[in-house]
A and B are shown apart, each in its own frame.
Chain A
Amino acid sequence: MDGVAHSPADGGAILPLVSLKEVTKEFVGRRRDNQAFIALRAVSADFHSGEIVTVVGPSGCGKSTMLSLIAGLDFPSRGAVRIGGQSVTEPYEHTGVVFQKDLLLPWRTALDNILLQAEVRGFDPRQFVDRAKELLALVGLQGFAHFYPHELSGGMRQRVSICRALLHDPKLLLMDEPFAALDAITRDQLALDFQHFVKADSRTVIFITHNMDEAVFLGDRVMVMTARPGYIAEVIDIDLPRPRHLAVRNSSEFIRYTGQVRELFMRHGILQDH
């Protein structure tokens, strides 16, 4: 399997960084009939170091709920979420999160927004300035360190927010539809650049999307989720060489993979052909 690191320290066995066991999440009393709304039903999944796992599914399939549980922002009704073998009771220390909105503070420059990650965690931000500038250069924003968010385009702002998530070199990077608010061209460019600045042997990336092409293009594995009740229908290994170029989207393998995802959605009644 391309991209999955088998650490020798594990003695050959693959110890997942993040592991979900029979995780169920219900929201009680949110609806008028007071029925519990089931967002996730008995979901089990493992996420390993060095891999990018994309989670694809329609709106309301529970994929964002799953990310919230892994981020430690919410907790399962039943089952266990473990990171590094520990049950999640608060946000895991070595996590970076990128949301759909860039969530940059408008009164801070790009650089200061990135340094926020260090400040909030109680580190001396001055020691992170070089790292922050390196990250800015990596995402193609050298020279924009002192620009305010309103002076940057949507794509640039999301790049800055990715830098913020990477400042402390997290072992776990969680991305909740980070490119969904961008126009199609900016989105393709970011997806293309993404693999270069996010991929690392020591990092687990969980990337939520509702875009099938994006999921196949970015992922080492694609988790296909279906709605009501939210569960993982299938996990598809994507065996495409990296770095992946735009041309790969026209390759027969790529089309086969996206066809496979589409087929799953059709089988579960999420996509209906006439």
Chain B
Amino acid sequence: MRLLIATASSTARKMPDRVLERAKRALAPLVTIILVLVVWQWSVRYFKVPSLILPAPTDIVENIIEKHHLYIVFSIPTLSQILAGFAMAAVLGVLLGVLVSFSGIARRTIYPMLVSSQMVPKVAIAPVIVIWFGTGLEAKAFIAFLIAFFPITLSTMVGLAAVDPDMVRLFRAMRAGRYRTFVKLRLPTALPNIFAGLKIGMSLAVVGGIVAEFVAADRGLGYYLLYANGQLDGPGVFGALTLLTIIGMLLYYTVEFVERLFLPAALVKEADPTKASM
């Protein structure tokens, strides 16, 4: 016991070391990014690349500062349809995952339909959805939802199936009913997987939101991206891209932040954004 306490306090003393270690680890990608930007800037200037093909990083920043009002106004519809689509996908995705995991009928009826619906290229049916829902927020949110919900359903199912059968035996021996077993065992066990699904779903909702704007929109960052492209406005295209990237990252890390609030530190899986990026 004494030994255990000693190790606990020694890890506490090591905390500043760990912060330093983290800073060191964060430094490497930061240096890489700065290096890439410098090379980018220098080569664009040196080879005199036309700004339509590839604008210099400084041109993009300049463009964003100059048109910041437009970018802010256009971020709002894009952001709201992504969030609305993601919210629907999160709620319905988790509920469907739970339903399919626990109901044999749902597993035989809804689930095969879900799987086959995933074979339909969702980007291709976007125009149909616009016909159904019009060109407002609903249609775009729905497209974002369609793209985002399936990974959430799937990871919820995987998480619920990951329960240790011995743990289920223990709960049965303690005379736990289905409801208590679900709330106290299955759901907490599935949470890390559910959050992994939510992170993938969030990055897919961003894709869905932009695709929807490509199809039918008169505002939004995706719309502006197409518009600037038509105007041969290179810095405009890359300005919109930069903002979309920032929005995507912010949303992704918001989900991760909520995950850390919900899950005890011991259970948070090391986040791997490369797996979730499109």
Chain A interface residues toward B at CB < 8 A:
71-73, 90-91, 93, 95, 97, 99, 101, 103, 105-107, 116-117, 119-122, 143-144, 148, 150-153, 174
- Chain B residue numbers with a CB within 8 Å of A116 are 174, 184
Asked if B171 is at the interface (CB within 8 A of a chain A CB), the reply is yes
Asked if B188 is at the interface (CB within 8 A of a chain A CB), the reply is yes
Does the CB pair B175–A90 fall under 8 Å? Answer: yes
Asked if B19 is at the interface (CB within 8 A of a chain A CB), the reply is no
Q: Is chain A's interface secondary structure helix, strand, loop, or mixed overall?
A: loop
Partner of B173, one of A95, A150, A153: A95
Distance between Cα atoms of A174 and B173 in the complex (Å): 10
**Additional A-B contacts beyond A103-B166, A120-B174 (14; CB < 8 A):** A73-B173, A90-B175, A91-B174, A93-B175, A97-B170, A99-B166, A103-B170, A116-B174, A117-B174, A121-B174, A143-B1, A151-B4, A151-B8, A153-B4
Contact mask B152-185 → A, CB, 8 Å, 1/0? Answer: 0000000000001011011111111000100011
Asked if B266 is at the interface (CB within 8 A of a chain A CB), the reply is yes
CB distance from A99 to the nearest CB of B (A): 6
Which residue of chain A lies nearest to B174 when distances are taken between CB atoms in the complex?
Answer: A120
CB distance from B162 to the nearest CB of A (A): 13
CB distance from B255 to the nearest CB of A (A): 19
Distance between Cα atoms of A9 and B185 in the complex (Å): 41
Nearest 6 A/B pairs, CB to CB: A97-B173, A120-B176, A120-B174, A107-B264, A103-B170, A91-B175
Partner of A99, one of B170, B185, B263, B266: B170
Partner of A105, one of B169, B185, B263: B185
Q: Given the known A-B contacts A99-B166, A148-B266, are A73 and B4 also in contact in the complex, defined by CB atoms under 8 Å? A: no
CB distance from B237 to the nearest CB of A (A): 46
Asked if B27 is at the interface (CB within 8 A of a chain A CB), the reply is no
Does the CB pair A120–B175 fall under 8 Å? Answer: yes
- Chain B residue numbers with a CB within 8 Å of A106 are 264, 266-267
Which residue of chain A lies nearest to B175 when distances are taken between CB atoms in the complex?
Answer: A91
CB distance from A66 to the nearest CB of B (A): 15
Does the CB pair A73–B166 fall under 8 Å? Answer: no
Which residue of chain A lies nearest to B267 when distances are taken between CB atoms in the complex?
Answer: A107
Contact mask B236-278 → A, CB, 8 Å, 1/0? Answer: 0000000000000000000000000001101100000000000
Partner of B188, one of A71, A105, A150, A174: A105
- Chain A residue numbers with a CB within 8 Å of B1 are 143-144
Which residue of chain A lies nearest to B167 when distances are taken between CB atoms in the complex?
Answer: A103
Does the CB pair A91–B172 fall under 8 Å? Answer: yes
Which of A120, A121, A122, A151 gathers the greatest number of chain B CB atoms within 10 Å? A120
Distance between Cα atoms of A218 and B266 in the complex (Å): 36
Distance between Cα atoms of A151 and B174 in the complex (Å): 25
Number of A-B residue pairs at CB separation under 8 A: 60
Does the CB pair A150–B172 fall under 8 Å? Answer: no
Does the CB pair A103–B173 fall under 8 Å? Answer: no
- Chain A residue numbers with a CB within 8 Å of B175 are 90-91, 93, 120-121
Distance between Cα atoms of A261 and B13 in the complex (Å): 53
9 intermolecular pairs with C-beta atoms under 8 Å apart? A91-B174, A91-B175, A97-B170, A99-B166, A103-B164, A105-B167, A106-B264, A148-B264, A151-B8
Contact mask B53-94 → A, CB, 8 Å, 1/0? Answer: 000000000000000000000000000000000000000000
CB distance from B224 to the nearest CB of A (A): 45
Distance between Cα atoms of A119 and B171 in the complex (Å): 11
- Chain A residue numbers with a CB within 8 Å of B169 are 73, 99
CB distance from B17 to the nearest CB of A (A): 20
- Chain A residue numbers with a CB within 8 Å of B4 are 151-153
- Chain B residue numbers with a CB within 8 Å of A148 are 264, 266
Which residue of chain B lies nearest to A140 when distances are taken between CB atoms in the complex?
Answer: B1
Distance between Cα atoms of A72 and B267 in the complex (Å): 32
Distance between Cα atoms of A90 and B169 in the complex (Å): 12
Which residue of chain A lies nearest to B180 when distances are taken between CB atoms in the complex?
Answer: A120
Distance between Cα atoms of A106 and B263 in the complex (Å): 11
CB distance from B190 to the nearest CB of A (A): 12
Partner of A120, one of B166, B171, B264, B266: B171
Partner of B266, one of A95, A150, A152, A174: A150
Which residue of chain B lies nearest to A93 when distances are taken between CB atoms in the complex?
Answer: B175
Does the CB pair B184–A120 fall under 8 Å? Answer: yes
CB distance from B184 to the nearest CB of A (A): 6
Distance between Cα atoms of A119 and B4 in the complex (Å): 29
Distance between Cα atoms of A90 and B267 in the complex (Å): 33
- Chain B residue numbers with a CB within 8 Å of A144 are 1
- Chain A residue numbers with a CB within 8 Å of B176 are 120-121
- Chain A residue numbers with a CB within 8 Å of B263 are 107
